[in-house]
Structure 1
Amino acid sequence: IPGKWDKILDIKACHLQQDPSNAIRLAVKDFALRHGMPFFNPHSQSGLLRSLMIRIASTGEVMAVLQFAEDDPENRTLLLNHLSATFPGITSLQYVINRKKNDTIYDLEVVCFSGRDHIVEKIEELHFKIGAKSFYQTNSRQAQVLYGTVRDFAGLRGNERVYDLYSGAGTIALFLAGTARKVTGIEAVPEAVVDARANAALNRITNVDFFAGDMKHLLNEAFIRANGRPDVIVTDPPRDGMHSDVIRQLLKAAPQKIVYVSCNSATQARDLALLDEQYTVSRVQPVDMFPQTHHVENVVLLEKRSGGSV
């Protein structure tokens, strides 16, 4: 419910999701109510069922990850067995025990209950292994439009060194690798880097490297000396944008182009203002990743001002 972080609207169908997403969600709810499994209350920090994440790839593969606030093996197994039997098409059924104050799972163990620990997405001729902790765009069809826009803005000719910041499972990096000399990805989540390397091997792409670490610490002069000064940087940060230390390092690296992808226009505008001393905005293209909402994914091409220092 707008303005209420702790309230949700109980609906029977979300038309922004494809089947069997709604059916899985309703099955969890109905089974929990029938068996007296309490839903998590964020105020009292009590209850069993905390969240449900569902991912459906364009390949038809389905991932469901249930988050439990307590370690209750009996009820957990009962619910997961029910889902596995009711929806045999679930490719990856996983769960997490989360006793923290927030819902993030990046620092928690994700257990595969049945099937694989990942699903496979396909964009153009590339296949991507997506795990529970890997960032991936929620709208697969528009993701292809988004990545195509990034590739168009980058305008690679085959001899450029490219850095892909906040690279996730390596989607953008691998999308650009075919027209680049070398692509170097940096990502904070180690599991996503494992997926990115697996995706490179899966697609037999050899001109990419992926590194795990905090962007503001890893992206420094020593890193650039070791991996080559970038001609193009693609950055796709989380909603809070780039840390000021990262922006300062981008200005020091001084690539000819920066392609900035953002799901938060406010923090993107803030960061663009900080880059303005050396870069000018030459192209802007919003991509409608979230139909029937005011949210967009915005792609901006920044080009180095003539006479800018390196």
Structure 2
Amino acid sequence: MNINPVDIDNYPNILDDKTTRITALFSDLALPKPTVFPSEPTHYRLRAEFRLWHDKDSAYYAMFDPAEPKTPIRVDQFSVASKSIFDLMPVLLEKLNRQVMLSKRLFQVEFLSTLSGDMLVSLIYHRRLDEEWQVLAEKLASELDIQIIGRSKKQKLVLGRDYVVENLAIDGEHYVYNQYEGGFTQPNGKLNATMISWAKAQVGENPDTDLLELYCGNGNFTIPLSAQFRKVLATEISKTSVKAAHENFALNNVTSIDILRMSSEELTSALNKERSFRRLEHIDLDSYDISHVLVDPPRAGLDENTRLLISGFDKIVYISCSPETLHRDLQILTKTHDVDAFALFDQFPYTHHMECGVYLKRRVKP
């Protein structure tokens, strides 16, 4: 069986239905009518991963239906993947099938691409990789002009780079990002640029005040927004993302950002002067005049302490990958703030998932 995950002709109706459902979820909060940003109907996903299913002397890409997890669904074409992944898939598979040493006990293939054309492929095995594998894999990487990582239990062989380089065009400016294998990146590149542009438009120019950003990742929002503030204080707990963020600040010649590897709970304690942290020895928190806060939390949304923290600031940009947890958090935040703008970004077409953006302003007391 082959898989066709998209109904291209029906995409407008699918998006309308999803928009109606998401809007209804927030009906009790009287939000403004959302601005809806559709995805490209095909070739929008910059990441993809497949099992490699072996059948006699050859193998093919496969996915699995959760209802029948032991039955592979053959994938010869995957039109939701970026054009570069889509084009590479059959070429890579043919070369893997031709070379036993590369396909032997290979059970998963992961693709990471960029809008600017860079490509990283991770080949994951149930066997230890040796020098013969490395020689053949290096030849393959050269032939296909890609980066390759070989993985097996307690083994990682990086042939070239373990990251791709993205170039994003946003509002006439260009930004460069190192995006690491295993690190979080937005899967829908074009809508990611749209989200950043939307956030920039909401906050406007603030040359005399500062931005606080929680869950900043690799600097995806941080770098473009930094030009609109005096300084930025950002936090992130992932080591990989903090490493990438520092590199990306340097790549974009941005010097007005301080990034802290700490949780939102820890930052709350520090801002409230409840605890001191060695990680803050070089940071003068009192020097910040924070007018805006941006949060882009994981699917679980904000914890109680973080909701309390951000409710203390006048203006909030909340980017959410879960409408349900956003709704929960807004039930609290709208006790003190009004929602000035609401946006839906269809990062995940043909699924029930929707990325949301909300801009809140502290309510002026009568």
Partner of 2:74: 10
Partner of 2:306: 246
Partner of 2:277: none
Deviation at 1:221, TM superposition (A): 3.5
Indicate if the aligned counterparts of 2:102 and 2:133 stay in contact, CA closer than 8 A.
no
Say yes or no: does 1:113 pair with 2:173. Answer: no
Distance 1:247 1:20, change over 3 A: same
Indicate if the aligned counterparts of 2:102 and 2:136 stay in contact, CA closer than 8 A.
no
* Larger CA deviation: 67-76 vs 189-198: 67-76
Partner of 1:230: 290
The aligned amino acid for 2:232 is: V
Deviation at 1:141, TM superposition (A): 1.6
Deviation at 1:199, TM superposition (A): 0.9
The aligned amino acid for 1:232 is: H
Q: 2:108 aligns with which of 44, 48, 51?
A: 51
Distance 1:245 1:121, change over 3 A: same
Supply the distance in 2 between the matched residues of 1:236 and 1:247 (Cα, whole angstroms): 12
Supply the distance in 2 between the matched residues of 1:197 and 1:224 (Cα, whole angstroms): 26
Distance 1:187 1:68, change over 3 A: farther
* Larger CA deviation: 21-30 vs 161-170: 21-30
Alignment of 1:252-267 (within 5 A): 254-267=312-325
Partner of 2:355: 297
Supply the distance in 2 between the matched residues of 1:186 and 1:280 (Cα, whole angstroms): 25
TM-score, normalised to structure 2, is: 0.68
Q: Which has the higher contact order (CA 8 A, sep 6+)?
A: 2
The aligned amino acid for 1:208 is: I
Indicate if the aligned counterparts of 2:129 and 2:152 stay in contact, CA closer than 8 A.
no
Distance 1:151 1:26, change over 3 A: same
Distance 1:62 1:34, change over 3 A: closer
CA RMSD in angstroms comes to 3.1
State the aligned residue count. Answer: 286
Alignment of 1:96-175 (within 5 A): 96-98=151-153, 111-114=157-160, 116-124=161-169, 125-175=174-224
Indicate if the aligned counterparts of 2:84 and 2:117 stay in contact, CA closer than 8 A.
no
Supply the distance in 1 between the matched residues of 2:225 and 2:236 (Cα, whole angstroms): 17
Indicate if the aligned counterparts of 2:209 and 2:289 stay in contact, CA closer than 8 A.
no
Supply the distance in 2 between the matched residues of 1:212 and 1:71 (Cα, whole angstroms): 34
Deviation at 1:193, TM superposition (A): 0.8
Structure 2: gaps of 5 or more residues: 1-63, 274-283
TM-score, normalised to structure 1, is: 0.79
Percent of aligned pairs with the same amino acid: 22
Indicate if the aligned counterparts of 1:219 and 1:249 stay in contact, CA closer than 8 A.
no
Supply the distance in 2 between the matched residues of 1:66 and 1:280 (Cα, whole angstroms): 48
Partner of 1:286: 344
Say yes or no: does 1:22 pair with 2:70. Answer: no
* Matched residue SS, 1:195: helix
The aligned amino acid for 1:71 is: R
Partner of 2:248: 199
